[in-house]
C-alpha cells in the first residue's frame, strides 16, 4: 500500500513539471519564458581592447628569458659535424659515448629534430675548421657532414706565466 502511494505521488509531481516546461518554470508559476535569438550586427565599427597588465609580468618574462641563455652560455653562429642520426635515442647515446671515448678534445651534443636524434660534435667558428675534423672522422663515420649551427663561444686559453730561475739575464 505504501509503495503504490509513493509511486502515485511521484507520477503526479512529474506530470506537473512536464506541463510547465520543467526546467524553465516552477509549479504554480504561470509566467512563460521566451528565448530570443540574438542577431549579430556586422555594420558596427571595430571596438577597442584595453589590456591592464601588472609591470611585474615583464620582469618575470625577462627573468625567464635570461635563464634560457644561461643554460648553454652565449650562442653564436658557427659549425658542427653531424656524425650520426637515428630514431632510437639509445643508439644515438651509444654513438655519442663511442665518439667521446675516441675524441676527448671535442664536445658532443645530442638533440632531437623530429623524427631523429642527432649527434653533433665540435664548436667551430669557420667551416674550414669543421671540414678538417670531418676529414679525420670519415674513416669511422663515413656519413659525417658539416652543418651550420649555434655554437658556444670558444674557451680562450689561460695565459701562461713562465716561472723564471731568478736570473733576469743581467737586468
pLDDT in tens, 53-95: 888 888 888 777 665 554 566 788 899 999 999 999 999 999 9
pLDDT in tens, 127-160: 999 999 999 999 989 999 999 998 887 667 777 7
Fold of 76-152: Alpha-Beta Plaits (3.30.70)
Buried b (16+ CB within 10 A) or exposed e, 48-74: eeeeeeeeeeeeeeeeeeeeeeeeeee
pLDDT in tens, 31-49: 555 666 777 777 877 778 8
Q: Backbone phi, then psi, for 19, in 5-degree steps?
A: -85, -20
Q: Which three cell numbers stand for residue 50?
A: 584595453
Q: How far apart are CA 145 and CA 80, in angstroms?
A: 8
Q: Is the pTM of this model over 0.95?
A: no
Amino acid at each position: 500500500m505504501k509503495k503504490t502511494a509513493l509511486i502515485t505521488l511521484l507520477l503526479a509531481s512529474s506530470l506537473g513539471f512536464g506541463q510547465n516546461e520543467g526546467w524553465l518554470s516552477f509549479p504554480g508559476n504561470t509566467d512563460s519564458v521566451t528565448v530570443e535569438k540574438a542577431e549579430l550586427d556586422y555594420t558596427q565599427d571595430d571596438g577597442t581592447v584595453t589590456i591592464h597588465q601588472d609591470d611585474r609580468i615583464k620582469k618575470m618574462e625577462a627573468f625567464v628569458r635570461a635563464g634560457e641563455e644561461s643554460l648553454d652560455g652565449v650562442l653564436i653562429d658557427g659549425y658542427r659535424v653531424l656524425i650520426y642520426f637515428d630514431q632510437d635515442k639509445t643508439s644515438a647515446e651509444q654513438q655519442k659515448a663511442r665518439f667521446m671515448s675516441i675524441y676527448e678534445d671535442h664536445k658532443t651534443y645530442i638533440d632531437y629534430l623530429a623524427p631523429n636524434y642527432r649527434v653533433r660534435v665540435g664548436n667551430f667558428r669557420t667551416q674550414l675548421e669543421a671540414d678538417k675534423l670531418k676529414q679525420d672522422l670519415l674513416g669511422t663515420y663515413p656519413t659525417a657532414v658539416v652543418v651550420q649551427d649555434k655554437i658556444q663561444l670558444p674557451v680562450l686559453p689561460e695565459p701562461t706565466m713562465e716561472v723564471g730561475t731568478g736570473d733576469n739575464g743581467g737586468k
